[in-house]
A = this chain, B = another copy of it.
Amino acid sequence: MQLSGLIARLGRHLDLTDAEREAILHAERGERRLRAGDVLVAEGGESHALYVVRQGWLHSSTKLVTGGRQILRFHYAGDLIGTSSMAWSQAAATLTAISDCIVIDLPKTELGLLFRAQPRIAGLLYAIAAAENVAMSDRLTTIGRMGASERLSTLLLDIMARLRVTAGGIVDSFDLPLTQTDIGDALGLTKVHVNRTIRALEKSGVIERTGRRVRIVDEAALVAATGFTDRYGEIETAWLPPAI
Are the CB atoms of B241 and A140 closer together than 8 Å? no
8 Å CB interface, A110-163 against B: 111-113, 115-116, 119-120, 122-123, 125-134, 136-137, 139-141, 143-146
Instruction: Write the A71-101 contact mask toward B (1 if CB under 8 angstroms, else 0).
Output: 0110000000001111111001100000000
Within 8 Å of chain B (Cβ to Cβ): is A65?
Answer: yes
Classify chain A's interface size: 35 or more
A92 cross-chain contacts in B, Cβ below 8 A: 134, 137, 231
* Chain multiplicity (copies): 2
**Complex interface residues of chain A between 52 and 78 (CB less than 8 A to chain B):** 60, 62, 64-66, 68-70, 72-73
Pair A88/B136 contact, Cβ less than 8 Å? no
Of the candidate stretches A165-173, A201-209, A213-221, A232-240, the one touching chain B is A232-240
**Across the interface, do B87 and A144 meet the contact criterion of CB distance under 8 Å?**
no
Inter-chain contacts of A240 with B (CB < 8 A)? 112, 115
Q: Do A65 and B227 form a contact, CB below 8 Å, given A115-B123, A128-B87, A130-B129? A: yes
Binding site for B on A (CB under 8 A): 60, 62, 64-66, 68-70, 72-73, 83-89, 92-93, 108-109, 111-113, 115-116, 119-120, 122-123, 125-134, 136-137, 139-141, 143-146, 187-188, 224, 226-227, 231, 234-236, 239-242
10 A-B pairs within 8 Å (CB atoms) are namely A64-B141, A65-B226, A66-B145, A70-B144, A72-B137, A84-B134, A85-B130, A86-B239, A87-B130, A139-B140
